Every structure is written in C-alpha cells, then in structure tokens.
A and B are shown apart, each in its own frame.
Chain A
C-alpha cells in the first residue's frame, strides 16, 4: 500500500462562514497539547515553559501568550498549550522542549476550535455561554457547558473569542453557534 497515504481532514472542513458581518472560522491550523504538572514539579515545569516557549504558567481562568502560542489553564495541575502546527507530531514537539518537565498528551484531534468574531458575538454568546463574559478581559478563559456540550472559551480581544469543544460533536457545536448568531442578527 505504498501508494496510499492518509490525508488529514479538518473536522468541519475548515469552515469560514459569515453571518451578518460576524465570522465563524474553524482554526484547524492550531495544535493542542495538554501539559500536566508532575507531583512537586511546578518549578521545573514553569522554568521549562519559560525557556522553551517564553510562556508563564497561567493562573486559573487565565491564559498566557507569546506570539501565536497560548497556554490555557484547564484544571488543577493541567494546562493546554495551543500553537500553530500543521503535522500530527505536536506532542513529541512539545515534549522535546519540556524534556520531561511535564506530562504531555496530544489533544489536537480531541477538540474542535472555532474562532468567532464580529459585532454580534457577545449577543450570540449570551444564548450559549453561562459564564459572565462582561467580566472577561483579553486572555480570560473559562471551562463551561454550551448547549449540553463541554466547552472551553478564551477571549482573544473585543468581540473575538476562541471556542473549543469535543471534536466528535463538532457538528452539533457549530450548529449551536450558527443558530445563536442567526437568532440575534
């Protein structure tokens, strides 16, 4: 089968959709790698993250950024590193930089990542997101549930958010986001 190679397919086909001046974009260019802190290894991981990625370890509900890379706090002793990376070797790539300072798991294929932006974004999110987004500033994050689906939300800037949810229900998640925009515009 040497003539057969596998081609990666974005979960939502790389959707880039406009709804009344708002944009829903699948960020299939991003790789996601979870990093867990070894017991008692907080200092070592912080140092490795700093030297490898020039990133600080994020506090709960926060993310830290350096250029295109972003570390998002997701749970006790765990964060998610998000960065542009095309090939399916994000985890060894991160692990090489950390050199054992953290436990890493590739999460790229576990999540669908949507960037949503535009003037009606806050109104659309009111129909989806139980969190108080008025208290969010840039780089704020939250774990929550949207339309019965677990989700992670990151504020990138004014009217600009990253939404992440399980890749298996990506179609339902996109439908929920589209419906919200449609209902408020």
Chain B
C-alpha cells in the first residue's frame, strides 16, 4: 500500500520512512506515527472484531481511551494481545495482527454471533445456560471461556525484562498538555523539583492536535519550546511514554514508564519500569476525553471521535476519509470541519444535534459508506466524525474514593473536594475546558503550590492564548434510532442493554456495570461511561448527579503483570541467604532446601546412594556411631549486652535467667503475650553483662523485633542493647561420641573433658592456632555434642578444617534431614510442634514457666484453659507393626471409636525413620498423653489412606536419661 490517505503537514518525520506489517500485509509509515495513524494513512479502516458480536471495528480515537483498535503486537514469545493501536509508536519492522476472529479479519466466521444478538443481550449468560445442570461445567463454561477475551497470549515465557525504581520530587505534574506544561513551567521557574509525566511520546497533548496559537506561535511549537525550557532546567525531569496510573497513600504515585516499547528490540534492557514516585504535591492536568453519541450502527469502521479526526489530520498528516461528515452537539465538532476543509478534505455534511439533526443509522459492509439522518436523507461519507462533548479526566482524583460531582455547564463530572492529599487539579481535568483558561488555571495553581512549599523565586507569567468557543448541549443518544446503538464499543453494550438492565431492577450504577459489562476491560469505558450513566439516568427519571459514577480505581490504564513483578521472577524472585559452608557443601554433593530465604544442605549424597533416605540414614547413623558435622549458622544469634541484660532476659524468657553463671548456657522458652509458646533456644552467658542468644531459624527476626519492642517500649529504663550477629558467625554442630576427640584437635588450649567443659558449658576460645571462636556444649541430637562458631570469613576454611580433623573418626557432614531425624528420636520440639496454639504444658515444659517472677506471657499462661489435666500432651509413638512407616498429620483415635472430630484424640506432628532403632518413630499431641504410655491407639490418616495401630511411648525414643549428651 502507498499511504494513499497521507496529506500535507503534521509532526511526522517524512525523511524517516518505516516499514511494518498488519495481518501479513506490508505497509509504510513515518517516524512520529502511531500504528493507528499509519494504518489510516494506508487506508486500513477495518482493524478488528468486536468482543461479543464480532462486528467489524476500526480506529475510534487517537489516544489511550481507544475501545476498538486492539491488536496483537509483535510475534513469537513477545506477542502482546489487546494493545491499543492508537498508543503504539510505529517502529521499523513492527508486526501487528488483528484479533478476536476465526478465519480472516474480513470474513470472520464468528460474525454469525451478530445474527444471534437478540439472544445475547446483557446478562444472557446468567439466564441462558441454566440447564441441564451438568452441562455447565462440561460444556457451557469451556465454550464461553474459549469465546471470551480478545487477543491471545503467546503461552510462552515473556522474553522481556522489567524493572522497578523510586522517584522523588516536590511536584508531580500529571499530563504534559497545555495545562501541564504551563503548571510545570511555573513550578520549575519557582525552583520546585518537578517531574512532568505524559503517556504520549511527544509532550503537548491537544496542542499537537489542534491549530491553536499560544504566545504568538502554533500550539505545537509553543509546546516544543516549553519542553525545551523545562529540559534545560536541572530541577525538572520530563518523562514521556510514562503513565501515572495510580494515586496511593502518603504522596505515593504508581508510574509506568515504557522504555523500549517503541523499539524493535529491547537489547536486554527493561522494557518497562514501574516507578514508585514520592512527591509532596501533585498537579493533575490530565485533560479531558471526548465522548461519543449513541446512534444506530454507530460502531462501523470510519466512525470516530471528532477530536481524533483532528489529531490524525493536524498531527499525523493523515485524512481518515475522503468524504467526511460531522455529527456533533458542541462547537468542537464544527472545529473539525474547519480543520478538514483547510486541509482540502471534502465535508459532506455537518449534523448538529443542537439544531435537531441526528444520525439514526449508518450502512457500509466493512466500513461506513452512508449516513442516514432523521429527516430520511442519506449522506455519503467514508468517515463520520462524532463529538458528544468532553469529559474531564478525573480518574486519579477518585483513587482515594472521592466521587466526582456533575457540572451542568460543561455537561461533565469534575473533581469534588475530597482529593488525595497533596493533589491539585487544573485545566480541562478540572473543568477549565478552553485553552487560555486551562493555561492560566494551571499556572496559578502551580505558583500557589510553589509558594506553599516555601520557594521565593518568581513563577513567571502564564503563556498567552485565546479562549476558543465552547458551547455544548447535553445529547447522549438518538432516541428515534431503530438500529442497535452502541454505548460501550469494547464490550458491545448497547442503549438497549442499559435500558434492559434498569428494567430488570439494577438500580445502582455499580450493578449496571457488572450486569452489562459497561466500562470494563482495557479502556475502562473512557469514551462510554458517561453515555451509559446518562441513559440509565434517563430510564430512571433522575439526574446524572443522582445516578452517580462507578468508582475509579488504579490502574488508569492497563499495566502488564510483568511490570508489577519487575525483577522478581525465576531465581530472582527473592534473595538467597547462603551459609558460610555453602561452597564446600556444593562440592560435596549437598542437596539444598529453602528454609525461609536460606539455602541449607538437607543431605549429602554419596556414590551408590539411590535415594534421599540412604543419605539421611547414613548421616544419622554415623553421627550416633562416631561424629557428624552440621552447619547451623542459620539459627538466629543475638548479641545482648548491658548492666541490665540478665534482668531483661529474665523477663523475656519464661524460665529463670537472672542467675545463669558466666560460662554457662541455658535452654530458654519464650511465650507470646497470650502465654502461647512461640520460640525456644539457648542463651549463653559469656561475661557478667554479655549474653549470646540463639533462636530458631524461622523466628530470628520475630524474636529480635519483639525484644526491641520490649527494650524501647516496655522497659526503657533497663540498660540493655542488642544487635543481630546471625550472619557474623559461621557455626557448626559437632555431634556424636567422637565429637570431643575431634574438637580436641581443633580447639586451642581448652580443657574439653567432662569436668573442664561439662554439658551446657560455653567459652570464648581460639581454634587452629589462633582464630577467635566460641564453643558451646549443647545438643539437639541427644548425643554428646558441641557447637563451635568462628567469624563468618573463616567459615569455608573451618568446615574444611573440621572435616580434615574428623577424617580419622570417619566424620560425616549431615544435613537438615538427619538433624530432624535425630531431634525426633530425642524428642525435641521444633516448628511442627510449635503450632501457634502450643502451651508449655503441652510440651511437657509447664514447670519451666517460673512462678517466682514476671515474664512476657507468664500471667496469661496461667489461664484455666491452658492448664487442664486432660489436655493434649507431647508423647512419642511407634508403629505396632514395626515395618510400617508413620504418617505426620494422622489423627489419633481410641480403638473402636468412629473416625470423626468428636472422638479426635490428637495428631501426629513429626515422624522419621530411625536408623538407630530400625523402625519409624513419631511425636505427637495426645489427650492425657502422659498417662497413656504403653497404650495402643489408632493413627488414622484418610488423606494418605492409612489406618494403623501405634504404641504410645516416651517422646525420648533414645537415651531418655540423657546419659549420652552429658557423658
């Protein structure tokens, strides 16, 4: 094609020709074109099919409000559906295809739906697919789902990258039309830090589309000079291709910048950046959107908004038709005729509703050919420019739930008083619908904001322009039309649908929206909403103000999910924390598991091992037989110092800590304020005023936060300070009968004998000839065990040193699974047992909650309900048939009782296969558990289809007297 509709003028660069394809047809355009303007230049009026009836549709607007011209952009994995051709900046090699048709665009098989339209009216699917009931899931729903939607996803991973960022300014100016430029100039000249954002790639708004003069030059030239002045100021940032899509709390705005959408290839750079923008003030100068008039067959390609026609003619140098008719209710429509005449385009008729002339129907197969008037005259036209007036873009003013108010003078909604804090609205968005008024309004308001924020520099004078005539008479739809008249082109909602909705009892405008789908989808009804409201108001016999609007919510325009995700995808979904022995573990066959953000070795696979159980059984068995080493760096570590540190700990822990001797470690139990156990661990006293606390991995942050709250808010009179040292120390558990022998080779000059360093001892020491270290004699496995810590920088060397030292004892590294096996064998509670409802009594630790002092949660732990004798108690379980593996989550039942919650006796919390005992062992809560040792109960798991008999036993499956760990 040869751009047969291209005319003189416009802001396109004719020296820069671009090639693109639409439905496989190759066409050309120019730099500065949108896809829509280039398609029109090439005479392509039919660009898509409508949602429900598959009616032929063309380009309706020239902006982001476009309901019709949705295309699939690009191909392959990068294919993006539902892209508005009116906002797509043309680039060389652009590939676009039409969507929502079966067969070709011109011969859509689904167009048969149009013939069925009497059966497809508003809410048809609520009424139609009622019977037979079984058909809904199998037939109707799949069928409707297959037909729904417009474009298709590529079903491949998005090949582009996205990013997030943060911006700050004194004043955010939203929209760079005449008002926005005027406001930005005033604020910037006054010295404010200004960000000026506009969704278009060329700032100027309607100035680029009209023939107005500003300061004695063309509007477009003035806009360019204003942008140049702003760009030269270092307190201004101009962001084009950028949409401010949401007004959030505390002066935060959601901003989407399309960085490479106008390029063929992103070259690895983010396609879009989602900015979180913090500003003291915002000036909303988002302008206004032209709305249509509902008349018979008002949806044919070639029927478009009058303002859009002027845009194509004046900005893009494209005549949308050779014979143009204008249907209007305001002076703007007349301006269209003047602009077209100036460009030599034939005007076949101006139909002004204010004179009683209306359009009742149009005809033409794939585009308008003839306009039918209410006086039975037929007018030839391949383009009908329609103007039903302008609606201020109040959307962002409503993001904090403000509802706009009706202004009869301009026949549109304007912002009401309850704006998002810090927001001011100026120009057409505020109802100042003429050029000079908009420029002065924004200038005045920006200058006032600057003064409020304490600047002393002068804002300068506003640009001079004339006010064009602006006379409008509300006119929403042509009542005498016999044909279907579209209100919402994107969702195929007609005047009849709106009236029917009212007839069926939907009185609220919100119900109207949900029932008819008016105002939904990508355009959010920007050209349709007011029409729908007006028709609904008319049907209800009430005013538009009383009818009201639906609430506007973010985003103003569609935002790709990829942009919301930013970098957070794949392995970058969240940060990883690695232990100091991670590299060594990788080298030694570790299989890693995510525990929070940590990656921990869960087992170390050896040659010949067929599954994880082989590795875990070997690690646990060898640890109990000789010695095993486990990286326990992930446990939370908190360094606590101060002359009141002991007092503080005594109040934080349920058990006593005041008199813990220096050089000793104590197991501690922490309660929530409500008396429920939430964490346990050990705390070592390194010096009189110096303690080191260990928390569980999962609760490290929670415990620290709770302690900080207590320090700052509960007991600010205590001299105590703490800081996390979790990452600072590489800590290794060394467990097993040979642990002492191994460590004796590692630790410098410390008596590790049972007398010199007994169970629950701790010391600061050195290892390997001088490296500072901390040694604790604590055990989670039930074996004689130590934990040895060195500064994290030595962690990698330390694990290698420990393994080398342990070689003569066949020391094994063990992971979290073997650790879990051994703690279950020993009967230690862990995350599975701390359910958020666990009391100290349940754990068998009721005696630890000291009655001699006050501590967090101790009072509420005394409540009757938490201290009943018949309550759940932690006990051990083993299968009566030792060959059966137990199942965690199984519920206990007394033999003979039915399997229901009335007879529920508790549940299995943790299970493991014990290589030491040669059978499966479990821990669990059982009613009156302690009294039922030796009893047999049913362990019933309908989820895993298991129903077995288990024997109740002590939770300490091995070494119940603790001889090993104390030995």
Contact = CB atoms under 8 A, between A and B. Distances in A.
A47 interface: no
A148 B575 contact: yes
B554 interface: no
B723 interface: yes
Contacts of A7: 794, 797
B769 A2 contact: yes
Interface string B728-752: 1100000000000000011000000
B278 interface: yes
B217 interface: no
B166 A108 contact: no
Contacts of A132: 168, 278
B9 to A, nearest CB: 38
Interface in B157-204: 161, 163-168, 193
Interface in A119-153: 126-132, 134-135, 147-149
B726 A110 contact: yes
Interface in A89-110: 89, 103, 105-110
Interface stretch (B381-389, B798-806, B852-860, B933-941): B798-806
Interface in B628-659: 633, 639, 641-644
A111 B727 CA distance: 7
Interface stretch (B240-248, B365-373, B420-428, B576-584): B576-584
A145 B721 CA distance: 23
Contacts of A34: 723
Contacts of A107: 723, 725, 728
Given A39-B718, A78-B721, A175-B572, A9 B793 contact: yes
Interface SS of chain B? mixed
Given A126-B165, A126-B167, A10 B793 contact: yes
B790 interface: yes
A159 interface: no
A8 B721 contact: no
Contacts of A1: 745-746, 768-769, 801, 804-805
Given A134-B193, A147-B575, A168-B579, A103 B724 contact: no
Contacts of B768: 1, 4-6
Nearest to B719: A39
B469 interface: no
A25 interface: no
Contact of B771 (A5, A103, A109, A130): A5
Residue from A11, A168, A173, A182 having most chain B Cβ neighbours under 10 A: A168
Given A1-B805, A88-B772, A134 B718 contact: no
A56 B167 CA distance: 32
B369 to A, nearest CB: 51
Nearest to B689: A103
A129 B793 contact: no
Interface string B553-570: 000000000000001000
A4 to B, nearest CB: 5
Contacts of B798: 6
A169 interface: yes
Contacts of B746: 1
B406 to A, nearest CB: 40
Given A9-B793, A166-B577, A109 B721 contact: no
B543 interface: no
A172 interface: yes
A85 to B, nearest CB: 12
Contacts of B644: 39
B936 to A, nearest CB: 47
B160 to A, nearest CB: 12
A38 B719 contact: yes
Interface in A3-57: 4-11, 34, 36-40
Residue among A9, A10, A105, A126 facing the most chain B CB atoms (10 A cut-off):
A105
B662 interface: no
A173 B575 contact: yes
Contacts, number: 150
A66 interface: no
A40 B717 CA distance: 10
Contact of B576 (A4, A110, A172): A172
B613 interface: no
B719 to A, nearest CB: 4
Most chain-A Cβ atoms within 10 A of its Cβ — which of B166, B278, B597, B718? Answer: B166
Interface string B618-635: 000000000000000100
A20 B273 CA distance: 21
B575 A9 contact: no
Given A126-B165, A134-B193, A169-B597, A11 B793 contact: yes
B721 A168 contact: no
B341 interface: no
Contacts of A8: 791, 793-794, 797
B828 interface: no
Q: Which of B163, B575, B725, B793 has the most CB of A within 10 A?
A: B575
Contacts of A176: 567, 575
B574 interface: yes
For the residues of A in contact with B, the DSSP-based class is: loop
Contacts of B323: none
B796 interface: yes
B796 to A, nearest CB: 5
Which interface residue of A38, A129, A171, A173 has the most chain B CB atoms within 10 A? A38
Contacts of A2: 769
Contacts of B793: 8-11, 88, 108-109
> Which of B164, B578, B790, B793 has the most chain A CB atoms closer than 10 A to its own CB?
B793
Contacts of B805: 1, 4
Contacts of A106: 725, 728, 791
B462 to A, nearest CB: 28
Tell me which of A5, A103, A167, A176 has the highest count of chain B C-beta atoms within 10 A of its own C-beta.
A103
A76 B712 contact: yes
B239 to A, nearest CB: 12
B163 A127 contact: yes
A125 to B, nearest CB: 9
Contacts of A134: 168, 193
A8 B712 CA distance: 37
B163 A183 contact: yes
B790 A110 contact: no
A38 B643 contact: yes
A104 B784 CA distance: 33
A9 B276 CA distance: 38
B270 interface: yes
A89 B163 CA distance: 41
A108 B771 contact: no
B796 A9 contact: yes
B807 to A, nearest CB: 11
A168 B598 contact: yes
B791 A78 contact: no
B165 A109 contact: no
Nearest to A8: B793
Contacts of B273: 127
B359 interface: no
B21 to A, nearest CB: 30
Which of A8, A34, A109, A127 has the most C-beta atoms of chain B within 10 angstroms of its own C-beta? Answer: A109
Nearest to B767: A6
7 contacts: A8-B797, A36-B721, A39-B643, A110-B727, A132-B278, A169-B577, A183-B163
Interface of B: 161, 163-168, 193, 268-270, 273, 276, 278, 567, 572, 574-579, 597-598, 633, 639, 641-644, 689, 712, 717-719, 721, 723-729, 745-746, 767-772, 790-794, 796-798, 801, 804-805
Chain A to chain B: the 10 pairs with minimum beta-carbon distance, closest first: A36-B721, A172-B575, A39-B719, A110-B728, A109-B792, A168-B577, A132-B168, A103-B641, A8-B793, A6-B797
Given A88-B793, A130-B166, A169-B576, 18 more contacts: A6-B768, A6-B771, A11-B792, A38-B643, A39-B718, A77-B721, A106-B728, A108-B791, A110-B727, A127-B164, A131-B166, A134-B168, A148-B575, A168-B577, A169-B578, A172-B572, A175-B572, A183-B270
